[in-house]
């Protein structure tokens, strides 16, 4: 099972690969074997990275409304793909921990390892883009200083999340903490559950 630092390295690789072309329509070229944990991590971060830039684009003040709606729909699809990928990561962890004998005092954890990895993936994007801000030549000294301060906080958070992830994996492996998965069960994407959508059929 990969450590937090190894997961971070895969996220960083995905971010670097995306920024070679820095375009939301760049096709993913996942370097890891299909079906592997590493493949899922790379895919997860690629989804996050593309969506990060779609969120930037849609905030253009003079964006064409028709184009904005297309991007919004694309973001919706991306969010669903992100959730689906996290749940595949959860499936991996459930398999890895399937033989763990939980201790009677084992505590339950509200966040699964996969959803913690989701936050770690997005954190790596925040670090990349905040660091980018500290190198701007067209920004004021005040802006650069503020971004350096924020970057320090993000890097501290990265260390804390690395520790939290490694401790969570260790605790579940030792039966000290219980892993329990609840699927997201999002309703607005399901035409049978969203009243606006199923109401159209009447």
Distance (Å, rounded) from C-alpha 119 to C-alpha 50?
16
Residue 120 counted as domain residue:
yes
pLDDT 10s per residue in the chain (202 long)? 899 999 999 999 999 999 999 999 999 999 999 999 999 999 999 999 999 999 999 999 999 999 999 999 999 999 999 999 999 999 999 999 999 999 999 999 889 999 999 999 999 999 999 999 999 999 999 999 999 999 999 999 999 999 999 999 999 999 999 998 887 666 777 777 778 777 776 5
How many domains are there within the chain?
A: 1
> What's the pTM value of the predicted model, to 2 decimals?
0.92
| Spatial separation of the C-alpha atoms in residues 88 and 94, rounded to whole Å | 10
DSSP class of 130: H
The CA-to-CA distance between both ends of the chain, in Å, stands at 50
Report the 10 Å Cβ neighbour count for 128. Answer: 18
Q: Which of 6, 75, 76 is nearest to 41 (CA)?
A: 6
Please report whether residue 193 resides in a domain: no
Residue 183 pLDDT: 72
Residue 202 lies in a domain: no
Quick check: is 199 in a domain? no
pLDDT of residue 63: 97
Show the domain range for 24. Answer: 4-188
Residue 152 lies in a domain: yes
Evaluate whether residue 200 is within a structural domain: no
């Amino acid at each position: 099972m990969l450590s937090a630092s190894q997961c971070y390295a895969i996220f960083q690789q995905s971010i670097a690969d995306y920024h070679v072309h820095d375009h939301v329509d760049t096709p993913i070229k996942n370097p890891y074997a299909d079906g592997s944990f590493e493949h899922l991590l790379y895919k997860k971060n690629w989804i996050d990275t593309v969506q990060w830039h779609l969120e930037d684009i849609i905030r253009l003040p003079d964006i064409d409304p028709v184009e904005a709606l297309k991007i919004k729909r694309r973001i919706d699809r991306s969010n669903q793909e992100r959730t689906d990928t996290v749940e595949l990561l959860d499936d991996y962890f459930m398999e890895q921990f399937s033989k763990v004998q939980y201790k009677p005092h084992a505590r339950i954890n509200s966040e699964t390892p996969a959803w913690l990895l989701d936050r770690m993936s997005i954190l790596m994007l925040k670090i990349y883009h905040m660091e980018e801000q500290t190198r701007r030549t067209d920004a004021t000294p005040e802006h650069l200083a503020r971004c350096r301060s924020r970057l320090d906080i993000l890097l501290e958070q990265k260390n804390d999340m690395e520790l939290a992830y490694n401790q969570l994996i260790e605790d579940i492996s030792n039966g000290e903490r219980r892993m329990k998965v609840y699927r997201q069960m999002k309703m607005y994407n399901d035409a049978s559950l969203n009243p606006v959508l199923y109401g159209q059929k009447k």
